[in-house]
Amino acid sequence: MATTLAAERLEQQRWKLRPQWAQSKLHDGLVEREFLSPEQQRATEAHALRRVIAFAVAQVPHYQALFTRLGLTPESIRGVDDLPALPVLKRVDVQEHETALRARSLPKGHRLGRVTKTSGSTGQPVEVLHTAQSLGMFEVLKQRQMRWARFDPAGRIGLLRLPRALPKRPDGQPLREGETGRRDSWAAQVGPYFETGPLFALSMLSSLESQMDWLEEQRLDYLVGQAAELEHLALGLQDRSAPRSLKGVLSVAMSLTPEMQRRIERSFNAFVHENYGFNEVGIVATRCREGGRYHVNSEHCLVEIVDGDGQPCRAGERGHLVATALNNPAMPLIRYDSGDIAEAVEGPCPCGRSLPAFGALHGRYRRNVHLPAGTLEHWTTLRLALADLPEDLSRPLRQYQAHQSRDGRFELRLVTAGPMPAAFFERIEADWAAGCAPAPPPLTIRVVDEIPRPPGGKFRDFTSDFELAGEAAGRDRN
């Protein structure tokens, strides 16, 4: 059912501002922005873009040289439709021109924040210097997402993340595995603005048993975590009942596949909400429940879905997702290549909001570009086979990961809480043969004690020797 401006205003009123912020109109402004006419949206975006372009050409050496080389002036870029006149900014460009991408000075009222760094999981880590305002938008936009999800700010929220993403212990050290952190408010998520219930934190490196115990003991209303970790919890809860207090789940920091979403929702009996973003820019978009589209936080950034030449894709086509940051004059990123593939959409969204949007995400381009033809289809076959298992076959399963070897063989690695029934192996092998016909690659299914995490800490449910070789080649070129 579509929402309305009146409904969102009413929902925002549930979020009571603290006395020192009582006069703030920041969050009310976000509500109003969600329902501007398409013409007003484009005009507002164009105004913000012209401001960024003018500043970048005046204060950032990289863009001064770029505009000179292309024979352009700031007036050449009047709106989003003019952006294809500029090249897409690649990660390697940011690495090679990091100093030249930093502004000589900041606009009045802005101050430096800190540097964010990508995890480097694709072999190309980059560092971006942010202003305090750019970093502060995380909390503002996170509250928008929670409002859309109808989270009650008086409730109890839990964070299941890597220690570096959680509130610290009183001595300033990261939480230990199995240790619960507690805060009296949701400030770590939505900033200092609102009166809220308590927040509880647990390292996702904690054992699955301790995670399930924690979920039950804390009587959480809402849970925030990475998709893979939420799925591991869902698998673990096959032998236990999910807490009846849980009303909503928020998946962050990695892709949520439809199969993951179904499994998590089935176990938790709660809808899984999702956002999209990356460290170089911040929270880029929030996915609406009604239309399944990712609505761009256009107060913070602009998004284009483009082809290999940097030109706009038509509705229904898949292309590279590139973003232009609007709140970071310290190091403006204009047409920055996220590395992700997304689907272009057009027309009004069933949710009723008018913020620009894009459709389904289809993985990381840099991660998949080196894979042999058919690899992703084979992996999808395995994913669907695992997702479609009846509970009596999947009950001992706790984690899984598929790996592709250089000889084209696949290995499905399982972490289990006990012996898997013979019918499990028969079912997976039959689905594999049928889904990969007429010539399925060899598949081995192996039970292991644990599945190691990569250096960044994010669990990967699919890895490939071809992907790793491509990353090494990328490092050699850089």
The 10s digit of each residue's pLDDT in 135-148 is: 999 999 999 999 99
- Domain assignment of residue 413, yes or no: yes
- Domain assignment of residue 12, yes or no: yes
* Res 97 pLDDT > 70: yes
> Which structural domain range is residue 188 located in?
150-270
Residue 362: pLDDT band (50, 70, 90) is confident
Do 242 and 362 reside in the same domain of the chain? no
Domain count, the chain: 3
Do 363 and 380 reside in the same domain of the chain? no
Among 216, 239, 270, residue at a domain's last position? 270
Assigned token pair, 176:
């230990």
Average pLDDT over residues 156-175: 92
Residue 368: pLDDT band (50, 70, 90) is low
* Res 393 pLDDT > 80: yes
* Res 133 pLDDT > 90: yes
Among 342, 368, 394, residue at a domain's last position? 368
Residue 39: its pLDDT value, please?
97
CATH number for the domain spanning 386: value is 3.30.300
Do 25 and 83 reside in the same domain of the chain? yes
Write out the H or E segment, with its range, that includes residue 321: strand 318-325
Do 163 and 243 reside in the same domain of the chain? yes
- Domain assignment of residue 310, yes or no: yes
Do 200 and 88 reside in the same domain of the chain? no
Among 368, 389, 419, residue at a domain's last position? 368
| CA proximity to 167, closest of 150, 152, 148, 186 | 186
Residue 367: its pLDDT value, please?
64
Do 32 and 121 reside in the same domain of the chain? yes
Do 13 and 131 reside in the same domain of the chain? yes
Do 167 and 253 reside in the same domain of the chain? yes
Residue 391: pLDDT band (50, 70, 90) is confident
Which of 107-116, 176-185, 365-374, 416-425 is predicted with the least confidence, judged by mean pLDDT?
Answer: 365-374
Average pLDDT over residues 444-464: 88
Do 334 and 400 reside in the same domain of the chain? no
Residue 472: its pLDDT value, please?
38
Do 78 and 110 reside in the same domain of the chain? yes
- Domain assignment of residue 140, yes or no: no
Comparing 256 with 82, the larger pLDDT belongs to 82
* Res 253 pLDDT > 70: yes
Q: Angle of helix 258-268 relative to helix 227-236, nearest 10 degrees?
A: 40
3-state secondary structure (DSSP) of residue 230: helix
The 10s digit of each residue's pLDDT in 272-315 is: 999 999 999 999 999 999 999 999 999 999 999 999 999 999 99
| CA proximity to 300, closest of 279, 283, 316, 280 | 283
Residue 120: its pLDDT value, please?
53
- The C-alpha atoms of residue 69 and residue 76 are separated, in whole angstroms, by 14
- The C-alpha atoms of residue 226 and residue 250 are separated, in whole angstroms, by 8
- Domain assignment of residue 142, yes or no: no
